[in-house]
């Protein structure tokens, strides 16, 4: 059973009614972030029920030692951990001496409401205490997009009968990670600074020595009257708190404003952190909560102006796509090139490290189309910066001459994943990083990037592939043994079609770009040749090798096989599985999964997605029809690719079902794990499902191609994409397509395969063909 | 470079000269054991240099939590750990207030001498202290084979100039394991009992609650005069010690006798442990050191009477085979059916658990031929006793209807290995356990064992195989996917020839034995059928399946392939490897090893060893010639099998080289790891190299077959085997073979393929054919 408690609304995520069993799920779903920091939707007040506490700070991590039963050479030493940072949210509250705790009082009218249009999260409820007191509470909270070191909370209490209230806003360094390999502490608290109701805790991470100041400031008002604290900030064991105490007449309200957040040594000199915290606080107090909220609305309005997707006639689909776009922007908005996009963003600890191949394979298109070009370029530069570490990583594994293997998971360029079978074998990630360079240049036309940075990355990666293939005399072809493809329900397989294919493409593309560089940028060519030792003869060898790569193939079915021997499996389709044993990763032993035919996520089909122009539609359909029935989609990255392919193949029911599955993966908790955090990177896949799937967007030879299709469940949809200095909006209705272009000069595009010239700032309406 | 400091001697292991770098290696090589307990050759006196302390008690273990980076269903929970037990050996010694410590003083004439004929270990040296005092020390130590709870030490000191000595014999519970997953303590010390110079520490293991009393008693003599202790036993923090202090004139000797050991709750009621320790001590004191030493000589003489192998003309080979036989008997002598044979015996911690497939595949023949039949039967019963756990283990992995998967490593029948890729995939172990039943009955003729215990084990194992194969429509044959064969340098491969072959044999053998049982023991047949639900239709289904099992095969080379796709590997032979990168497991990353063609140990050839009668000599030679050049022999279990096959194939130079490699694996430290402990189970393989390899012993249709060959490096060899109520001795010289038989009736045997009747107690000499 999927969960279904989130109420449908085009712009809001709403939960009504308090259910302790849903607290951890909702903590994920109502998470807030502003690109620089983020936090799960933990309650401000203390809560004695089951909760998963998490506040996270971008770029701050801890290299936990890996856990391995029996060490072997080349195993990763560290597993980078997303760190639960000190908590600045907390506000304890007592009513006539009884502490507010939703697990203890009777709770009515509980409601959460996350307004995605403004990035403002509200929670309200009334609580009845055992001795009869009753209060109504409304809390408003946001992490400022305009001031990324600041969060703000407005905590309103209305007394239904006269009572005494005591408040204790605090900052607490006594936090733990749920996910810790050795139960080591991750933080050391070094200093405090207190001044009235201002409190600031200085901490650093162990080993990595990231310096962080966690701060807060509070103000309490009854009507417009400030209430003085009953106790200024005091420090107790890495916990700073102040207190307010007052009486409240029946029907009266008290409001506590709390401002807080983190100042990180990654952004300021270490000796300025406390000063910066004071500045942020003072500026927030001067501006006031309402002004800060206006800033927040404006910042989000700007994001939505470019990134919104409208879906008419299907409010759940509408809500879901906005939730995906909202969460992506909360996680990474491109303002800080040092950051990247963790699979769970700021919503949980799992997948520890920050950067997976997800960034290149799934997230890049979203950021290319909805942000200025610099943002996508920064995502690429991130990898270029880490090329030396990728070369070192390959060296450790026995590769030579500047071959580069990018890590499966990384914070700083070093491999920091836990599992050898992934770090050693899931080398297809190298292909996605190369493909992203191609994809970026294809979309933006920024060919200069190739000479500036792209070529060196491609050379390192191609050298890796060239060494990783070897000639099989038995097959008289180049084979690649012992890999894991995108489908992680296989390990240590031979000739994974996807990996062989993307490696072949990479060798060919690099060789071609090397020739092009020689012709078009001879100075760059010389510089890179000198720096990398790259020679034209090496490129020629790659082309020769690429022409002789082996791909497993079934003559009878006319399909490429996911890997050698795939047809030996017990080929029962997913339909035959007992539903009580799904997801299989929660019920089956690992060896049983490995030898089964079940596919965790698109693997061969991932290749058809990336390289669709290399294949006919018949070929794609044949492969889709063969592989989809074995696919359990237990990776969040799977349904989106299937949705796009299904749309292309006019399997609109499939496309729609997969769209819902990717779009509402977390809202409806398809994979029964939302309490661990949201699947952020797959949300970019959801965006692709609409724009590339239903909208049919492609870029070919510097031109946009659209091939919009409308699922029968929808009345229409609309999206915008940023392209070469202007914005194209596509609106699809049941009668036809409207295109709008904001650039200065007319833009030639293709619609359903036919050329069309978009005039600046004019709508073009084209009736459906049928 | 192999180590070469052990001096050659037919009966002794000798080290001369003190080298701190060799201490840990020698601690392994000079290990003592008596089947019930064992210890590394740690110094009695304190030693501040590098040392690996270890005393181990049979059957006492700790289930350490496994270490896994990312948990998946069915992963083993526990890794049983061989436990370093409290130390009863320790004797501190001060000379004029300076403590004896071989890392601190100048050491001359250092010599260790382990007499394998008697099981007595001596260490002698002279030490010069910084202030000039000089002493000569000789220490004699043994673990009594006659009294398995007792060890004895005689520690003699001769003063070269007058000095004062202080002694402190002690028992110490403050020990640690080097190999601990989570640094948990393994022992809790609960009580002490002291009485004069008697001290006894009561402890139990955490979790498993094994109760152990570690005890000691000491006596000091100058000439024949007992010296009273200066301080009776005292207790300090799980450490019990007493003290002696006296002066010693120049040229005089003092001798401390220390008796000690363990009393285990596995052998006595818990409330009797201290009493039993007192009894052992008193009996030892009454008997005296010399009498105990006589008992030890007698016990070992009895062992050697049956088990000795004589090799003439090659002292290193002679020393080595005795070292192997000696260590096997120190580890397991068959007296306690609850125990088994750990890969490192009592000489180190690695491989934690007690029982691997090594027992059935390598050790059983040695114990069948050198001990009474009951010992081998006990090894088999050990597995029968654990059948319920094996069924439970298979259930956890999704198997049904009484299918049994024996664990890869176990103490009590539960799986307790660390690594999923071994526990899930190295299922060939099930085959070895089935084969051992066949092998035992073939050798002993004890067909009753089949009805009593063997059949139920075979049914459980065959049910596992029947479910583990599935029909590949592509191949129209039964395939087995996702296994690891004996060659652990491959993981998760398909159709490992060895595993498929032994599984096929097992299905056929079980089906045939089931029919036989119906005919010959109808009551047992009914009982087992009722108990297991086994029907003749099930046996028939197995026979059908067995006839249709797939084996990878290369038509061109006419060889079976180790697994699907083996010929795709980069088939460079071991000779082409850079010697500085060997052993490859110490230099190459794990993924590189996995995709390489290098074979850790006999895999396909292991099948040819077990089932040689199924193949022609030409077939065997073809496979030997193909696989041996890819084999790095980085498992201790590899060279012996190759030696046996090479002897059969008349490749006598290979056979001899592999014999030395298996026989002197630890003495010469081929695999650069002897400091971690000895390779006990492979030592049984060494025995097989002589008896089955050079001696050509086989049992076919209840008859012994010999086919003795003499390596040119040897003048002759002789061994005895226990067979059906008598002992056959074979002596091979350059001129011919002498056979001697001690049974009551004439014994028909075959020599070089020709029948021969051995008359009781008469030598038969047959000249060499050539």
Contact between chains at A69 and B419 (C-beta distance less than 8 A): yes
Q: Tell me the longest C-alpha to C-alpha distance in chain A.
A: 89
What is the 3-state secondary structure of A50-108? Answer: CCCCCEEECCCEEEEECCCCCCCCCCCCEEEEECCCCECCCEEEEECCEECCCCCCEEE
User: How many residue pairs bridge chain A and chain B with CB atoms within 8 Å of each other?
Assistant: 134
For residue B764, give every residue at least 6 positions away whose Cβ sits within 8 Å of its Cβ, in sequence order, or none.
Answer: B738, B739, B740, B756, B758
* Chain A closest-CA separation from residue B186 CA (Å): 18
State how far residue B560 is from chain A, nearest Cα, in angstroms.
15
Q: Kindly state the DSSP code that residue B85 receives in the 8-state scheme.
A: P
For CA atoms A84, A88, A93, A97, give the dihedral sign.
Answer: positive
Q: Are B69 and A67 a contacting pair at CB < 8 A?
A: yes
pLDDT, tens digit, 9 for 90 and up, residues B163-217: 999 999 999 998 887 777 667 788 999 999 999 999 999 999 998 899 999 999 9
How far apart CA B424 and CA B632 sit, in angstroms, is 24
Between residues 414 and 443 of chain A, which touch chain B (CB distance below 8 Å)? 418-421, 424-425
Instruction: Test B67 with A69 for CB contact under 8 angstroms.
Output: yes
Identify all chain A residues contacting B493, using CB atoms and an 8 Å cutoff: 492
Give the integer Cα–Cα distance in Å for A112 and A26: 9
Active site residues of A: 488
Residue of A nearest to B73 (CA): A589
Could you say which DSSP state residue B271 is in? Answer: G
Residue A474, token pair as written in the block? 């038995």
Which phi and psi angles does A729 have, rounded to 5°?
Answer: -110, 135
pLDDT in tens, A565-621: 999 999 999 999 999 999 999 999 999 999 999 999 999 999 999 999 999 999 999
CB of B75 within 8 Å of a chain A CB? The answer is: yes
* Mean pLDDT (chain A, rounded): 95
Three-state SS string over B333-346 comes to CCCCCCCCCCCCCC
**B580 vs B599: CA distance, rounded Å:** 18
Distance from CA of A420 to the nearest CA of B (A): 8
pLDDT: which is higher, A2 or A747: A747
pLDDT at A769: 72
Nearest to B398 among A421, A564, A592 (CB): A592
Contact (CB<8Å) B66/A69:
yes
Q: What is the pLDDT of residues A83-120, one digit of tens each?
A: 899 999 999 999 999 999 999 999 999 999 999 999 99
- Average pLDDT of span B45-54: 96
The edge-to-edge listing of strands for the beta sheet with B716-723 is B309-312, B716-723, B726-733, B736-741, B763-767
B746 token code pair: 């004439």
| Residue found under tokens 């107090």 | A285
User: Given CB atoms, is B586 within the 8 Å cutoff of chain A?
Assistant: yes
Residue A569 near chain B (CB below 8 Å)? yes
pLDDT exceeds cutoff 70 at B69: no
Q: Is the pLDDT of residue B345 over 70?
A: yes
pLDDT above 90 for B155 = yes
Q: Do B567 and A472 touch (CB under 8 A)?
A: yes
Least confident range from A33-37, A82-86, A485-489, A637-641: namely A82-86
Model pTM score: 0.92
**Which residues have C-beta within 8 Å of that of residue A709, sequence separation ≥ 6?**
A647, A650, A652, A655, A694, A696, A732
- Residues from chain A contacting residue B482 (CB–CB below 8 Å): 591, 594-595
Q: Is A79 on the interface with B (CB under 8 A)?
A: yes
Pick from A313-327, A536-550, B76-90, B205-219: least confident? B76-90
Encode pLDDT of B439-474 as tens digits.
Answer: 999 999 999 999 999 999 999 999 999 999 999 999
At B350 the pLDDT is: 82
Average pLDDT of the segment spanning A241-267: 97
Q: Considering only alpha carbons, which residue of chain A is nearest residue B564? A: A565
CA distance B127 to chain A (A): 40
pLDDT of residue A305: 95
CA dist B703 and A480 (Å) reads 51
> Interhelix angle for A639-648 vs A680-688, to 10°?
10
Chain B residues near residue A484 by CB distance under 8 angstroms: none
Active-site residue set of B: 488
Residue A693: which of A739, A737, A656 has the closest Cα? A656
- Residue A38 buriedness (CB in 10 A; 0-12 / 13-18 / 19+): buried
Contact criterion met (CB < 8 Å) for B565 and A565: yes
Verify whether the Cβ–Cβ distance B67 to A67 is below 8 Å.
yes
Residue A68, pLDDT > 70, answer no
CB pair distance less than 8 Å for A472 and B568? yes
Which of A343, A428, A492, A557 is the mutation pick for testing B, counting most B CBs within 10 A? Answer: A492
With a cut of 90, say whether residue B420 has pLDDT above it: no
Of B418, B493, B589, the CB nearest to A396: B589
* DSSP 3-state of A124: strand
Kindly state the average pLDDT of the residues A43-58: 96
Contact between A372 and A722 (Cβ < 8 Å): yes
Specify which residues A106 forms β-bridges with: A128
Report the pLDDT value the prediction gives residue B353, as an integer from 0 to 100.
Answer: 67
Find, among B141, B196, B131, the residue nearest to B164 by Cα.
B131
Whether A472 sits inside 8 A of B592 (CB atoms) is: no
Q: Which of residues 599-618 of A touch B (CB under 8 A)?
A: none
Average pLDDT value for residue range A635-645: 96
Beta-strand pair A747-751/A703-706: parallel
Residue B314 or B183, more confident: B314
Q: Where are the alpha helices (DSSP H) in A308-398?
A: 315-331, 358, 364-370, 373-385, 387-396
* CB contact B72 to A (< 8 Å): yes
Determine how many CB atoms are found less than 10 A away from the CB of residue A190.
12
Q: What is the pLDDT of residue A70?
A: 66
- The predicted pLDDT at position B441 comes to 98
- A568/B73 touch (CB, cutoff 8 Å), yes or no: no
Using the beta-carbon criterion (under 8 Å), do B568 and A398 form an inter-chain contact? no
Give the pLDDT confidence of B515-572 residue by residue, as tens digits: 999 999 999 999 999 999 999 999 999 999 999 999 999 999 999 999 999 999 999 9
A590 vs B contacts (CB less than 8 Å): 72-75, 420, 424
Q: What is the pLDDT of residues B373-402, one digit of tens each?
A: 999 999 999 999 999 999 999 999 999 999
**Are the beta carbons of A205 and A82 closer than 8 angstroms?**
no
Residue B70 predicted with pLDDT over 70: no
Alpha-helical segments (H) within B10-124? 23-29
Q: Are B429 and B408 in contact (CB under 8 A)?
A: yes
CB–CB contact B571 A425 (8 Å): no
> How close A625 gets to chain B, by Cα (Å)?
19
Note the maximum CA span of chain B. Answer: 89
Residues 146-205 of B with CB under 8 A from A: 181
Does residue B400 sit at the A interface (CB-CB below 8 Å)? no
Average pLDDT over residues A137-146: 98
B617-670 pLDDT per residue, tens? 999 999 999 999 999 999 999 999 999 999 999 999 999 999 999 999 999 998
Structure confidence by residue, pLDDT tens digits, A428-442: 999 999 999 999 999
**Hey, which residues 471-530 in chain B have their CB within 8 Å of chain A?**
471-475, 479, 481-482, 491-495
Q: Do B473 and A567 touch (CB under 8 A)?
A: yes
pLDDT in tens, A147-162: 999 999 999 999 999 9
Nearest to A470 among B67, B564, B570 (CB): B570
Asked if B589 lies within 8 A of A397 by C-beta distance, the reply is yes
């Amino acid at each position: 059973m999927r969960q279904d408690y989130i109420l449908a609304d085009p712009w809001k995520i709403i939960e009504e009614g308090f259910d302790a069993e849903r607290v951890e799920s909702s903590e994920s779903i109502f998470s807030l972030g502003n690109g620089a920091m983020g936090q799960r939707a933990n309650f401000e007040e203390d809560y004695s029920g089951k909760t998963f506490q998490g506040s996270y700070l971008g770029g701050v991590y801890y290299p936990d030692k890996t856990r391995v039963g029996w060490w072997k050479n080349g195993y990763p030493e560290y597993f980078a951990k997303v760190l639960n940072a000190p908590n600045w949210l907390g506000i304890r509250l007592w009513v006539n001496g009884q502490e507010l705790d939703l697990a203890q009082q009777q709770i009515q009218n509980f409601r959460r409401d996350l307004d995605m249009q403004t990035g403002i999260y509200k929670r309200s409820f009334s609580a009845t205490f055992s001795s009869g007191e009753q209060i109504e509470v409304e809390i408003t909270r946001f992490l400022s997009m305009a001031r990324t070191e600041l969060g703000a909370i407005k905590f309103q209490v209305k007394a239904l009968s006269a009572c005494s209230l005591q408040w204790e806003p605090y900052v607490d360094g006594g936090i733990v990670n749920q996910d810790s390999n050795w139960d080591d502490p991750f933080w050391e608290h070094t200093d405090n600074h207190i001044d009235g109701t201002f409190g600031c805790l200085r901490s650093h991470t162990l080993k990595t020595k990231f310096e962080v100041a966690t701060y807060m400031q509070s103000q309490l008002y009854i009507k417009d009257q400030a209430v003085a604290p009953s106790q200024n900030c005091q420090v107790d064991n890495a916990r700073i708190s102040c207190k307010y105490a007052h009486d409240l007449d029946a029907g009266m309200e008290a409001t506590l404003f709390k401002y807080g957040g983190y100042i990180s040594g990654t952004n300021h000199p270490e000796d300025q952190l406390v000063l910066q915290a004071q500045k942020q606080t003072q500026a927030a107090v001067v501006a006031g909560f309402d002004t800060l909220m206006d800033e927040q609305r404006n910042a989000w309005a700007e994001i939505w102006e470019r990134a919104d997707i409208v879906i008419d006639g299907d409010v759940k689909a509408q809500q879901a796509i906005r939730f995906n776009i909202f969460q992506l922007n909360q996680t990474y908005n491109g303002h800080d090139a040092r950051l990247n996009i963790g699979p769970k963003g700021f919503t949980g600890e799992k997948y520890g490290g920050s950067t997976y191949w997800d960034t290149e394979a799934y997230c890049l298109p979203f950021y290319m189309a909805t942000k200025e070009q610099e943002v996508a370029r920064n995502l690429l530069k991130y990898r270029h910066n880490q090329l030396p570490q990728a070369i070192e990583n390959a060296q450790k594994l026995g590769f030579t001459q500047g071959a580069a293997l990018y890590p499966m998971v990384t914070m700083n360029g070093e491999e920091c994943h836990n599992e050898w079978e992934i770090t050693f074998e899931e080398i297809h990630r190298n292909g996605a990083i190369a493909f992203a360079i191609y994809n970026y240049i294809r979309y933006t036309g920024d060919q200069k990037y190739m000479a500036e940075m792209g070529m060196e990355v491609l050379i390192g990666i191609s050298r890796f592939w060239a060494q990783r293939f070897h000639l099989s005399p038995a097959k008289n072809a180049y084979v690649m043994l012992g890999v894991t493809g995108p489908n992680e329900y296989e390990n240590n397989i031979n000739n994974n079609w996807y990996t062989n294919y993307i490696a072949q493409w990479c060798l060919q593309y690099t060789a071609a770009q090397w020739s092009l560089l020689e012709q078009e940028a001879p100075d760059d060519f010389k510089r890179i040749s000198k720096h990398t030792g790259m020679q034209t003869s090496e490129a020629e060898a790659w082309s020769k090798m690429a022409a002789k790569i082996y791909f497993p193939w079934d003559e009878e079915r006319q399909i490429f096989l996911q890997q050698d021997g795939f047809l030996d499996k017990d080929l029962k389709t997913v339909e035959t599985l007992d539903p009580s044993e799904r997801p299989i990763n929660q019920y089956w032993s690992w060896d049983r999964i490995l030898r089964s035919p079940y596919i965790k996520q698109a693997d061969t089909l991932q290749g058809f997605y990336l390289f669709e122009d290399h294949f006919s539609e018949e070929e794609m359909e044949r492969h889709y029809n063969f592989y989809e029935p074995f696919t359990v989609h237990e990776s969040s990255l799977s349904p989106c690719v299937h949705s796009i392919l299904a749309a292309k193949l006019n399997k609109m029911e499939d496309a729609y079902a997969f769209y819902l599955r990717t779009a509402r993966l977390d809202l409806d908790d398809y994979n029964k794990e939302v309490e661990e955090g949201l699947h952020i990177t797959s949300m970019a896949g959801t965006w692709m499902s609409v724009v590339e799937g239903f909208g049919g967007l492609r870029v070919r030879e510097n031109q946009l191609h659209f091939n919009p299709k409308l699922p029968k469940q929808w009345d229409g949809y609309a999206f915008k994409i940023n392209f070469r200095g202007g914005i194209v909006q596509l609106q699809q209705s049941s009668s036809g397509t409207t295109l709008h272009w904001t650039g200065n000069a007319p833009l030639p595009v293709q619609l359903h395969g036919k050329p069309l010239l978009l005039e600046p700032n004019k709508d073009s309406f084209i009736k459906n063909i049928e």
